Amino acid sequence: MPGLRIEEDLDLIVVNAENAAGGSGLTPSIYRELIAAGVDCITMGDHVYRRREIFPILSGESRIVRPANYPQEAPGRAVTVLTTRGKHRVAVISLLGRVFMSPVDCPFHAVDRVLNTLPSDVRIIVVDFHAEATSDMQVMGRHLDGRVTAVLGTHTHVATADEQVLPGGTAFQCDVGMTGPHESILGRRIERVLETVYTFRPTHFEVATGDPRMHGTVVEVDPATGRATGIRRLVVDAARAAELSERTRSPR
């Protein structure tokens, strides 16, 4: 992560970590590991409460958000405002989709309410829309176009090739992809998933290990307006990760 920050000149790094703990949920120790690695903010999704031990982190830390369309009483914060290394204030919001997902409050009305609470000097706003259907994601992108800096989707584990800056200046992508084993089915061992699908015999979907890759998206922003000026996909495989790690050890 430090090497990537240097090479890409990253001012803010936001990651979705809802599957970081063995493929489901997040633990306090992994949260601290991600922050120590250089992550600035963490978003969650439908697995936010899989590990009850994360509740104190959700309630007490400012660098993690749960879906804003969860009930007000749910542990965690609906939005956080952070100051980047470049001294820019950035709001980060997490939302959960409704199509093919568990019942949840309307994400469109929820994000409108959250946006109305933000100070006027917070112009850069990043939204993680954790949703299943690309139609749901596209509707959210259009709903927020011109009102937020970026709407970036997560949850399907597969990076989409539709990255774009919408007419109003909002960067959009249906799904930024998965960080984990590429030699897998959505991060799980191929043979286990195949067995269950083919025979209908239940098995434990263990996390795979082959060909780890980090997928993500880089958004370029005009801090004066909060509008996106560019967006592109990013893929880092194991060999590239080693190169980036070596860069931090080499004299500059």
pLDDT of residue 251: 53
User: Residue 218 forms beta bridges with which residues?
Assistant: 232
pTM: 0.94
Tell me the residue type at 213. Answer: R
DSSP string, 7-18: HHT-S--EEE-T
Locate 161 and state its tokens: 């090739």
**What distance in Å separates the CA atoms of residue 153 and residue 99, rounded to the nearest whole number?**
14
Check if CATH label 1.10.3080.10 holds for domain 64-245: no
pLDDT of residue 126: 98
Catalytic residue among 47, 130, 155, 215: 47
pLDDT of residue 188: 93
CA–CA distance from 16 to each of 88, 92, 153, 196, 251 (Å)?
21, 11, 10, 28, 32
Asked whether 223 and 126 are in contact (CB, 8 A), the reply is no
**What distance in Å separates the CA atoms of residue 179 and residue 19, rounded to the nearest whole number?**
10
Asked whether 41 and 225 are in contact (CB, 8 A), the reply is no
pLDDT of residue 249: 76
Q: What is the pLDDT along the chain (252 residues), one digit of tens a residue?
A: 999 999 999 999 999 999 999 889 999 999 999 999 999 999 999 999 999 999 999 999 999 999 999 999 999 999 999 999 999 999 999 999 999 999 999 999 999 999 999 999 999 999 999 999 999 999 999 999 999 999 999 999 999 999 999 999 999 999 999 999 999 999 999 999 999 999 999 888 999 999 999 999 999 999 999 999 999 999 999 999 999 998 877 555
Its sign, for the CA torsion 15, 21, 24, 25, is negative
**What distance in Å separates the CA atoms of residue 124 and residue 228, rounded to the nearest whole number?**
9
The yes-or-no answer on residue 47 being catalytic is yes
Asked whether 91 and 62 are in contact (CB, 8 A), the reply is no
Q: Which of 125, 4, 143, 137 is nearest to 65 (CA)?
A: 125
pLDDT of residue 150: 98
**What distance in Å separates the CA atoms of residue 10 and residue 135, rounded to the nearest whole number?**
30
Locate 217 and state its tokens: 């998206």
pLDDT of residue 247: 81
pLDDT of residue 250: 58
